[in-house]
Amino acid sequence: MRMMAIIFLLTTFTTAAQKQNDSFLLARTSARLAMLAYSLGEDRFGSAKLGYLDTSVLLKITDSSKQLYHVQLSKSHKAYINKSDIRIDTSTTDRPFYLTSSFSVKGDELYDYVNISLDEKLPYKSWMEVNPAKIFLEVYGVQSNTNWITQLRSVKEIKEVYFNQTEDDVVKVTIELKHKQHWGYSVYYNKNKLCVRIRRRPSTLKVNKLLIAVDAGHGGSNDGAVGVTGKGLEKTYTLRFANELEKYLKKKGAAVFMTRTSDTTIDNIDRVLMLQDAMPDVLISLHFNSSTNADVKGASTYYKHIGFRSLSTAILNRLLQLDVSEFGNIGSYNYTLNAPTDFPNTLVEAAFLSDAEDEKKIVNPRFQKAVAKKIYKGIKDWLKSVKE
Ligand SMILES: [Zn+2]
């Protein structure tokens, strides 16, 4: 009886496994900022972002729904990707498993690096943890053959690097950092080496030594929200506030990078690419809120990655010294400009265009100047708080 049950189980299992193996297509990421999503769920920013992948990463496509392909990252991990972000690859033959090999941990004049040798460009996911600061990287569809991690003294920010094969076909790499604050990291492939490039803490924690990116939301054909009484456009005000912030930061000696300085249309993905080239120390993205609920108003700041929350709370604390109510500090926010891990970033929404009282403030040049000053002070407070 028992034997029969085992044979039955084995047969059904084999059939299921074969079925799974038979029914996938191999593909490679082709967009410069291919985004994996956690689920088929959506909000106005699209599906919940799991993270970006470099180009040419090998993916197993098992199914499709609407504009998304289903991706089997590993036996037990799934994700979704925009059809336009990949191309089907007919030249690669799938292998039962891939291997990791040696790691190297080293630094150059600017960054620290963890290089992970793989025998294929496999998909990955990364995330941050705080207290103490750590970066985690999961590589999917891979087994460990890593028996060698070279570590050089040229690193300045990395404290420890180690890995665990947490599942049959998942290798999880842990990177412990020396400082409390995350300054950002980028994950990309250099041939078949998966590289985590880690940003070091700036040598001087002063605003006048930093490059600060200021992003005026919307622009051109993208108006954004509309003022409830004055009918002014969000894109006009984000640029006005951005100009005030630029002026104030420059007066205080900071270098400023603006994503736009006129009424032009720039896609959010293009803004991220532009910022990844500029590599600012901090990104402040400016928008104004809007709601169909007339009772909602006030200031808010947003972040996606926990390692950048401290920046967003420091700025919100300063904004709340102005005559605005507290809408809150919002985490896990799915906004495209909060998605990069490359540099600390926050979205600032100083008030609501859909609230008449808030709108009156937004259109007032004195408030525009005051917000610029508070954002500067917030960055300054944040720098002071991260001196450990
Ligand atoms: Zn907006």
pLDDT single digits (tens) 104-132: 999 999 999 999 999 999 999 999 999 99
Q: Three-state DSSP class for 216?
A: strand
Distance 384 CA to ligand 1 centre (A): 30
- Strand blocks (E) in 254-294: 255-258, 282-289
Tokens representing 312?
Answer: 């967003």
DSSP per-residue letters across 167-206: ETTEEEEEEEESSSS---EEEEEETTEEEEEEEPPPSS--
Residues 6+ apart with CB under 8 A from 46: 35, 37, 334
Distance 60 CA to ligand 1 centre (A): 35
Distance 13 CA to ligand 1 centre (A): 50
Which band of pLDDT confidence, cut at 50, 70 and 90, is reported for residue 97? confident
The β-bridge relationship of strands 34-37 and 77-82 is antiparallel
CA distance 52 to 124: 9
Average pLDDT, the chain: 93
Distance 23 CA to ligand 1 centre (A): 42
Q: Three-state DSSP class for 158?
A: strand
Q: Three-state DSSP class for 89?
A: coil
Backbone angles phi, psi at 50, to 5 degrees: -90, -30
Instruction: Specify the length of the chain in residues.
Output: 388
Distance 226 CA to ligand 1 centre (A): 10
The CATH topology of domain 25-94 is SH3 type barrels. (2.30.30)
Distance 209 CA to ligand 1 centre (A): 29
Distance 360 CA to ligand 1 centre (A): 18
Distance 126 CA to ligand 1 centre (A): 27
Q: What is 100-199's CATH number, 2.60.40.3500, 1.10.10.1110, 2.30.38.10, 2.60.120.10? A: 2.60.40.3500
Cβ proximity of 122 and 142 under 8 Å: yes
Q: What confidence score (pLDDT) does residue 19 get?
A: 43
The CATH topology of domain 207-385 is Aminopeptidase (3.40.630)
Distance 149 CA to ligand 1 centre (A): 45
Cβ proximity of 114 and 124 under 8 Å: no
Distance 21 CA to ligand 1 centre (A): 44
- Indicate if the alpha-carbon torsion angle 147, 152, 155, 158 is positive or negative: positive
Q: What confidence score (pLDDT) does residue 7 get?
A: 45
Distance 90 CA to ligand 1 centre (A): 41
157-184 pLDDT, tens digit per residue, is 999 999 999 999 999 999 999 999 999 9
Distance 285 CA to ligand 1 centre (A): 10
Domain boundary assignment for the chain = 25-94, 100-199, 207-385
Distance 371 CA to ligand 1 centre (A): 17
